[in-house]
Chains A and B, each alone.
Chain A
Amino acid sequence: MAHAHESNTKRIWVVFGILSFITIVEVYLGIIKPEALHLHGPGTSWLNWIFIILTLAKAYGIAWVFMHLEGEKKWFRRSIVWTAVFLVTYLVTLLLIEGGYLFDTLAPLVNW
C-alpha cells in the first residue's frame, strides 16, 4: 500500500495501450500466418513461439500493473509467482511429452 494515495491513471492507460497493441499483433499474425513463420521453427513453429512470448508479456502487464504485484513486498510476490511458474512448467512439460509419446505410439495404428 506504498502508493496508497497517488494516482496512476496515466500509467494504466499506457499499459492498456500496450496490451491492446499486442493483441492486435497476435490477431493479425494469426490471420495472415506468414509462411516463413508458420511452417518452420524449433519444436513448434516460430509463430507459436511469438504467440507464447507475447502472451507471457501480456500476463506480466496484467499481473504487475493491474493486479499491482509490483507494489507488493518482494517475497509476497515471489510466493505467488514462483509457485505458479514452477508447478505450471512442471505439469506442462510432463503432459506435453506424454502427449507426444501417445501420438508416436497410436498414430501408426490409425488408417487414414
Chain B
Amino acid sequence: MEANIAVPTDKKETWGGGNARPFGASYGKMMMWFFILSDALTFSGFLAAYGLTRFKFIDSWPIADEVFTHVPFVHGDFPMIYVAIMTFILIFSSVTMVLAVDAGHQMKKNKVAWYMFATIIGGIIFVGSQAWEWGTFIKGSYGAVKTTEGKVLQFVKDGKQIALADFVVGPRTDVREQHTRKNGLWFQSEGTIATYSVDQVVNAYKANPAIQVRTELIDLEKKQKTILSREEGAAQLAKTKMVVEGANLKVNEYGNTIFADFFFFITGFHGFHVLSGIIINIIIFFNVILGTYEKRGHYEMVEKVGLYWHFVDLVWVFVFTFFYLV
C-alpha cells in the first residue's frame, strides 16, 4: 500500500501520507471521536427532553424504584437490583474491550480475539436483559385503573401496592370477550382486553375495606405517592374509564403515559446502539481471527470499535442515573 502513495514532502496533504497528522490522531480515530460527540449530543437531547417532561409533571412522576423491581427467575420485590447487574455487565464488557485494545498494542492476536469474544458475549447478555426488562414493563406488575380525567389509580393494602388479581375475585363478569379477526365483519381484531371489567374492580374495592386507592400525586414532604381515604377513593373510582394492565405507548399502569414513552424511546435507542456495537464487534472479531490486522501491522481498528463500545457504556451510565436513580 505505502508504495503506491506519493509521500508529499511539503506536508500539505497531512492525511495522505506524511507523519504530521492533525492532533496526532489518525483520520479514522478522529472521525470516530467526532461521530461519538454528535451521538452524545443526540442522547443529551433525549435525556434533556426527559428532564423537561419530568419537571413539568414533577408532582406526579412515577417513582422509578417502584416500577423496576423485578429480577429474572426470582420472585419478590428487588428495586434497582437487576438494572445494577446490567450496569455491571456493560462496564465489565467495557473492561474486556479495553483489554483487547491493550493486547492489540502488543500484537497478541489470540488475546485480542478472546477479549473481543468476551466483549461480544457481555453485549449479548446486556441486550437480552434489556429485552427482558421491556417484556416485564409491558406486561406490568400490579394493574391499575384510569379515570376519565386521564389519571391512573393504583390499589394499596397496608400501605403496600397490591395487584388487581389479589383482591378482585373470579373471572370477568360482564361477558365481554376478546374480539378476534375471524369473528368480525371487517376482519379486524382488537388489542388485548383487560382481565377484569371496570365494575368488577370498583365492586371489589367496595367489598373489601382493607383496600385503599393511591393516586399519582406525590406528597413532596415525604416523596411518596398519596394514599386516599376510603371515601375519597370511592369518589375517584366512580370516574373510572378503563382497567390498565402493563404499559405501552398509550396507557401505563405506573402513571404518566409519557414516562413509558420515554422509557421505550431512550432505552430502545440505547439498546439499538448496543446491538449495532455487537454487530460491528463481531465483524472486527472475525477480522482479528483471519489475521487482517496482523497483516496490516497494527490493531487500530480494534481501538476504533472499542471507542464506540465504551461510548455505549458511557451513555448507559447516564441513562442509569437519570432514568433509574434520580
- Docked complex Cα distance between A12 and B226 (Å): 47
User: CB distance A31 to B65 under 8 Å?
Assistant: yes
| Contact digits for A1-30, partner B, Cβ 8 Å, 1 yes 0 no | 101111111001100100110011011001
Q: Is the interface of B mostly helix, strand, loop or mixed?
A: helix
A72 / chain B contacts, CB cutoff of 8 Å? 23-25
- Cβ-defined contact, A103 with B37, below 8 A: no
Residue contact B317 to A16, C-beta cutoff 8 Å: no
Q: Which of B58, B94, B222, B325 contacts A103 (CB 8 A)?
A: B58
Within 8 A of A (CB), among B266-314: 303, 306-307, 310-311, 313-314
B: contact size bracket: 35 or more
In the docked arrangement, what's the CA distance between A63 and B325, Å? 21
Known pairs A5-B106, A31-B65, A73-B25. 6 more at Cβ < 8 A?
Answer: A31-B80, A62-B314, A96-B55, A99-B51, A99-B54, A102-B56
A-binding residues in B (CB < 8 A): 23-25, 30, 33-34, 36-37, 40-41, 44-45, 48-49, 51-59, 65, 79-81, 84, 87-88, 91-92, 94-95, 97-99, 101-102, 105-106, 149, 215, 217, 221-223, 226, 303, 306-307, 310-311, 313-314, 317-318, 320-321, 324-326
With A and B bound together, what is the CA distance between A8 and B95 in angstroms? 12
Q: How far is the CA of A66 from the CA of B217 in the complex (A)?
A: 43
Q: Closest B residue to A99 by CB, please name it.
A: B55
Chain B residue contacts of A79, Cβ below 8 A: 23
Listed by A's residue number, 18 A-B pairs whose Cβ atoms lie within 8 Å are A7-B102, A7-B106, A16-B91, A23-B91, A38-B223, A39-B222, A52-B326, A58-B317, A66-B97, A72-B25, A73-B23, A76-B24, A84-B41, A87-B41, A96-B52, A98-B52, A99-B52, A112-B215
Interface string of A84-112 (1 = CB under 8 A from B): 10011001100110111011001100011
* B37 touching A80, Cβ below 8 Å: yes
Interface centre among A38, A76, A106, by most B CB within 10 Å?
A: A76
Taking CB atoms, residues of chain A closer than 8 Å to B37 are 80, 83-84
Q: How far is the CA of A3 from the CA of B45 in the complex (A)?
A: 35
Chain A residues whose CB sits within 8 angstroms of the CB of B326 once the complex forms: 44, 48, 51-52
Tell whether, in the assembled complex, residue A96 and residue B314 are in contact, meaning their CB atoms are under 8 Å apart. Answer: no
A66 CB contact (under 8 Å) in B36, B48, B226, B310: B310
A99 to chain B, nearest CB (A): 3
Chain B nearest CB, measured from A8 CB (Å): 6
